[in-house]
Amino acid sequence: MELERIVLPPPGPLHLPLALLELGCAGRCELLPGPAPPRSTLPQGLPPFTPPLTAELEQRFLGTPSWLPPHHHERAQRRWTRVPTPRALFVLEPTPVHSSVRALRDPGTGALQGFVEELHEDSGLTSSPDTSNVPQWEGGLEEPPLELLHTQGPNEEDLDLENDLLTIPPGLKRGVEFQARAPGARGGAPSLCSVLGALDSMELGGAEEEEKKEGEGAGGGAPSQQPADKGGVPSPTPPLRRADSLEELVMGEVLVTPTTATPPVPPQSEEEEWAVEEDCSVPVEDFEEKIPDPAFKWPFRPDAFQQRAALCLERGQSLLVAAHTSAGKTAVAEYAIALARRHMTRAIYTSPIKALSNQKFRDFRATFGDVGLLTGDVQLRPDASCLIMTTEILRSMLYNGSEVLRELEWVIFDEVHYINDAERGVVWEETLILLPEHVGLVLLSATIPNALEFAQWVGRTKRRRLRVLSTRQRPVPLEHFLYTGGGGPPSPRDLFLLLDARGGFSTQGYYAAVEAQKQRASKHAQSFGAKQPHGGGSGPGQDRAMWHSLVALLQAQGQLPAVAFTFSRGRCDAHAAALGRTDLSSAAEKGRVRGFVRRCLARLRGGDRRLPQVLQMSELLERGIGVHHSGVLPLLKEVVEMLFSQGLVKLLFATETFAMGVNMPARTVIFDSIRKHDGNNFRDLLPGEYVQMSGRAGRRGLDRTGTVIILCRGTVPEMADLHRVMLGRPSGLQSQFRLTYGTILSLQRAAALSVEGLMRNSFGEFPLRRRAAAQQRRVAELQQELAALGEPPQEGTLDDLPQYHEAVQGLLEARAELQRRVAQSVAGLKALAPGRVVVVCTPRHHNALGLILQVTAESGGGRTITTMVLSEKPPEEGGPPPSPPPDAPYPEDVLLSRLFLPEGPPGAALEQLHPEDLGGIVGRTLRANPPRLLEELRRRQTARGRKDPPSPELLSALQELLRMAGGAPGGLPLLDPVGALQLRDPPAVEAAARARSLGAALGGFRCVHGPRFPQLYSQFAARRRLEAQVEQLQYQLSDRSLLLLPEYRQRLGVLQALGYVAEGGAVQLPGRVAALLSCHELLLTELLLGNVLSPLRPEEVAALLSCTVHPGRGEPPPKLPPNLQRGMEQIRAVAERVGRLQEEWGLPQSAEDYVGQFGFGLAEVVYEWARGMPFAALAALAPLQEGAVVRCIQRLEELCRELRRAARMLGDPGLAATMEAASGCIKRDIVFAASLYIQ
């Protein structure tokens, strides 16, 4: 910019004696008092200065970090014009390598053991997320079909991959032989490891023996690659002979014959082994020598399971650690993180809740430093080597194909038993399935009974073997007591030992507690009258007295700090308020608590510091008492947690959510009750829940034993209930997998992924799919048997053989269904009484008469019919009577017209039958003594009673059955189930009609008159049985057997009806918008498409959207603006339309239930908060506790950010600005106060 000289007028009398001095050439000037400096110092005069607009914008928007908003970083983005470079089109990217050579070293000594060539599978199939929004081809899903990966162009030719491939390269005389060799033959080029061993002329004494002793191969691969022992060590390669040159070695290798016999091939197991249980009962020998330079050094001596975990992690093996509470599972996670740092890769630590993520971020940041945090509203250091996040964030990264996954080595899942959660357990399953194959897994869980089964599923899904490590006992044993005091001064005699430290249940202690409780109730009745509450319940006064007495007892015995688990937020607050005069803190501790609370609350506004809950909690904390539940403000919960970890909170009243968190043990755990309300009804605690909460008792290194106390506030719980809760088997991990619209839409967008593949690999399908390899082998065997069996001839009189076989099978199935219905009816049970004669049709008895001796009920609702069946005489040496040879079912056999007659003396067989084993119920009974006959037949089955002569009563019953069978050439009259037994249910009537019609048609078939009918029918029936088995196995192996396949088709039909998915499966624009949302995808997308939210103000939008984060409880408040009233009616109309559509497609949720889940009880609260109402006034207006209100508003802010992205995808900048403004107006003050753990 050219500068021009400006001529200034001469100074007048009113001018001040000031001078302007230019400094440098940047246009900066300084004002000087006095006369002007000499002219020579300003050679160019005083030019005007106008900085360039680009520099001003860069300085303001890009060069001033303090101006940049922390939550709206998109304002600071700048777009640079792309410079075209045509020559870049001629540059090709290097072809990715398909394999690499990796050195195998001993993890303890570092000695070189060999080399292994690793193939990079599918290196060209995944796309970079910066060019495509398609997730990676995940390791848990099957390989996509070839036609999806390669589409033939117009100039391409078909290639026969079996016959058209070249085996000899051009210019060479020999090629590669692809024929299978014998198991013991060796040929071809040697491996790199054997070549190096053959050319090595240096012999180090004892080195090979040392390597054999210490070396262990890195496991974790698929079991089908090469034989391996239980520890995953591959079988050693046979040594190669010495040679003078590589040429001699290669040319002579083919001619070398093995000198040792080929080991036998082990038989294939019915199920692939993907999990190996490690022995953690004893420490690892020479642990320091096996890992001389550990990646992480603990400040304590590691336990046996921690040592095993470190060894497995060093070998690159995935783990499942199922250990008791406070056993030290976090130490395993620390070693995995340190190992990733050493390898210069990355690790991800996931937790079930955001609060636990914040706590782990503080702990790991103090340990490693380079740690980042990713939650819904906070992103700190996303480029760190260790990232802490919730499982939902990791799932979102997998669906979006984040670049972090390419540098990822370990993923640590904390509290993995949270997979049992009905609402969020599906997130764990999806994440485990979608993780790439190269990522190692560290699964941390509480003790679970089916840990090996769960590890089998994870290993089968990820195609890598998992090591299962578990602890058999707690590091600090527990003693469990019943407490019945409260009516007088505290006394240790009010504590009754129920379960000792060795796990022995004391019935003596239980009955002593029952007697003490009776005496207490009697004294109370004498003092206050019989009408006062006692025995079955307790009043507020008795509760107050009990807590005062118990706290005084614990304080006197040194049993503090204590955690009192109370399964009600209201009772937590009431119990804390009942201890109004109890002070558990010293003067010094009060000062520390007061100063800590003051520092934590200093970041809040003045009004927020004086909230009633803040003042009440501050007063309780100074007395050493705390409250922790979901109704407490998040900031106050963190204050309570930090003070408890410092030992300044001596008694903490908490709900069960406190049991799921970081290691915060106490000396004593108190249970207010062993019953809780689970959202539907009251029930006893599950054994797993009791173990999880009681595990907080006992501080490792400080206490020899932990104390668990159960309060007997009313009557003493039943002994059976206490035994089941404390010593029962914990619930195993169960699949909570379900399909959501967001999952379907995300997977429909990826060509290489499928919803069927995700369902097939879910934990719920694992019991049905775990034997897939054995089933495939069985299908091949059955197909071979079918080919060998051949097709029977069907000409001449045998042309209707298939129809006859179908009629016979249909008749037998109808008869079996009819007998099951008879056994379920009242009249049928009366007919099947002991003494009734029946016709038995089983593989061992063909149309044999039997006498019912006993009918018993089974646990599943069925019936077992103990019957004496007429048969051939059993052999003298014992055993059952001989079975009749298989015979073709002629019409008279199927219609029960020809009964069984023994060829020699009759015998009696005692059989346990089911209703479908009965061909019919004869209309006659025998006068016999069924109990005596049953006793005799059971005695004759033993070795001592086998040779005893039969009693006259048994001989009489056999002769009567024999007379009935021989005296009825056309069969015995049977009871008609519909007529005689009066069965009127439609399935029974239909089965009876089908049996009559099929029985009447049997006489018209010609095939039964052919001379070869028995042989050909047996051949045809055997072939049909094999075909049915093959069809059943193929059905189980196919996607048609998926449990959730019908629901998937229903939800896909809903998406297609709404226009989210096209008929061919392509996801349309509405579907891409719905995939961005984490909840209520259909309702919110329809609101966006219908412009329901566009004409509203930001505070009105936030108020209406509160219905998606607050369940529908109660009616909306009456005083709402007209816009909100109209908006609520529109939302209900849209919800009803979506609910009706789901009903039409067969989904189980009714339209009324779908509409009822959207409640507007918080609409007024959110509306006033968005308009700027202080939180103190808002707390008085809200129908919920302060913590619940904060949680709903935080979830609402996350939803507003999701809808802002969805509006931008729709191309609606106005709505995007409205959603951004709605997010900003509710994101303020104490509701979004930063966590104390990330400061």
pLDDT interval class at 11 (50, 70, 90): low
Domain finish residue from 12, 31, 59: 59
The answer on pLDDT for 682 being more than 80 is: yes
Q: Report in angstroms the alpha-carbon separations of 149 from 84, 137, 1083.
A: 31, 12, 35
Q: Is residue 410 part of a domain?
A: yes
Calpha distance 1080→1076 (Å, rounded): 11
Q: Is residue 260 part of a domain?
A: no
Residues 6+ apart with CB under 8 A from 166: 175
Domain finish residue from 991, 1022, 1043: 1043
Calpha distance 137→349 (Å, rounded): 22
Residues 1036 and 1104 in one domain: no
Residue 418: exposed, middle, or buried by beta-carbon count in 10 A (0-12, 13-18, 19+)? buried
List the single range of 433-437, 577-581, 1201-1205 with lowest mean pLDDT: 577-581
Residues 6+ apart with CB under 8 A from 876: none
Residues 6+ apart with CB under 8 A from 106: 113, 211, 214, 215, 216
- Show the tokens assigned to 396: 């979102």
Q: Report in angstroms the alpha-carbon separations of 852 from 753, 951, 955, 959, 982.
A: 58, 18, 16, 16, 21
SS3 of residue 174 by DSSP: coil
Calpha distance 468→278 (Å, rounded): 6
Calpha distance 453→766 (Å, rounded): 9
Domain harbouring 647, CATH code: 3.40.50.300
Within its chain, how far is the Cα of 1150 from the centroid? Answer: 27
Amino acid at 806: E
- Show the tokens assigned to 542: 């008795």
The answer on pLDDT for 173 being more than 90 is: no
Residues 1103 and 1216 in one domain: yes
Cβ atoms of residues 308 and 280 within 8 Å:
yes
The answer on pLDDT for 998 being more than 70 is: yes
Residues 6+ apart with CB under 8 A from 736: 419, 420, 421, 422, 425, 426, 429
pLDDT interval class at 201 (50, 70, 90): very low
- Show the tokens assigned to 642: 């930090």
**Can you give the pLDDT at residue 267?**
41
Calpha distance 698→203 (Å, rounded): 56
Q: Is residue 183 part of a domain?
A: no
- Show the tokens assigned to 1224: 């900003």
Domain harbouring 1109, CATH code: 1.10.3380.30
Pair type for strands 386-390 and 99-105? unpaired
Q: H or E element: which one contains 707?
A: strand 706-711
The answer on pLDDT for 97 being more than 80 is: no
**Can you give the pLDDT at residue 47?**
60
Residue 568 backbone phi and psi in degrees, to 5: -160, 130
- Summarize pLDDT for 1211-1239 with one digit per residue, the tens: 888 999 999 999 999 988 888 888 888 87
Amino acid at 574: A
Residues 6+ apart with CB under 8 A from 641: 359, 628, 661, 664
Residues 989 and 1107 in one domain: no
Look at the block and give the residue holding tokens 């250990």. 323
- Summarize pLDDT for 854-891 with one digit per residue, the tens: 998 887 778 899 999 998 887 666 566 666 666 678 88
H/E/C letters for each residue in 323-352?
A: CCCCCCHHHHHHHHHHHHHHCCCEEEEEEC
Cβ atoms of residues 492 and 707 within 8 Å:
no
Report how many domains make up the chain.
6
Q: Is residue 136 part of a domain?
A: no
Residues 666 and 619 in one domain: yes
Residues 983 and 1081 in one domain: no
Region 722-750 average pLDDT? 86
Residues 462 and 486 in one domain: no
Q: Is residue 405 part of a domain?
A: yes
Cβ atoms of residues 10 and 21 within 8 Å:
no
pLDDT interval class at 514 (50, 70, 90): confident
SS3 of residue 233 by DSSP: coil
Residues 6+ apart with CB under 8 A from 601: 609, 614, 635
- Summarize pLDDT for 1134-1159 with one digit per residue, the tens: 999 999 999 999 999 898 889 888 88
Half-sphere exposure of residue 421, counting CA atoms within 13 Å on the CB side? Answer: 16
Cβ atoms of residues 344 and 384 within 8 Å:
no
**Strand arrangement, sheet containing 848-857:** 906-913, 863-872, 848-857, 836-840, 918-925
Closest C-alpha among 1059, 1054, 1056 to residue 1070: 1059
**Can you give the pLDDT at residue 840?**
92
Calpha distance 930→852 (Å, rounded): 8
Stated length of the chain:
1239
Residues 1182 and 1214 in one domain: yes
Q: Is residue 159 part of a domain?
A: no
Q: Is residue 75 part of a domain?
A: no
Region 319-336 average pLDDT? 87
- Show the tokens assigned to 193: 């490891």
Domain harbouring 868, CATH code: 2.30.30.1160
Looking at residue 854, the DSSP 8-state letter turns out to be E
Looking at residue 1237, the DSSP 8-state letter turns out to be G
Region 272-291 average pLDDT? 84
Residues 289 and 419 in one domain: yes
Region 507-536 average pLDDT? 68
Peptide bond into 561 cis (omega under 30): yes
Angle between helices 1081-1089 and 1122-1144 (to 10 degrees): 120
Q: Where are the beta strands (DSSP E) in 398-541?
A: 408-413, 440-445, 466-470, 478-483, 495-499
Domain finish residue from 990, 1005, 1020: 1005
Cβ atoms of residues 414 and 333 within 8 Å:
yes
**Can you give the pLDDT at residue 136?**
52
Amino acid at 742: G
Indicate the average pLDDT of the chain.
79
Amino acid at 663: N
The answer on pLDDT for 220 being more than 50 is: no
Residues 857 and 973 in one domain: yes
- Show the tokens assigned to 12: 């007048």
Residues 945 and 1089 in one domain: no
pLDDT interval class at 95 (50, 70, 90): low
**Can you give the pLDDT at residue 1222?**
92
Look at the block and give the residue holding tokens 């040792």. 260
Structural domain harbouring 28: 1-59
Closest C-alpha among 1195, 1161, 1223, 1188 to residue 1080: 1195
* Higher pLDDT pick, 795 / 684: 684
Residues 454 and 316 in one domain: yes
- Summarize pLDDT for 943-991 with one digit per residue, the tens: 777 778 888 888 899 898 988 888 777 778 888 888 888 888 888 888 8
- Summarize pLDDT for 547-590 with one digit per residue, the tens: 888 888 888 888 888 999 998 888 888 888 888 788 888 899 99
The answer on pLDDT for 540 being more than 60 is: yes
Residues 657 and 614 in one domain: yes
Q: Is residue 167 part of a domain?
A: no
- Show the tokens assigned to 515: 């007697």
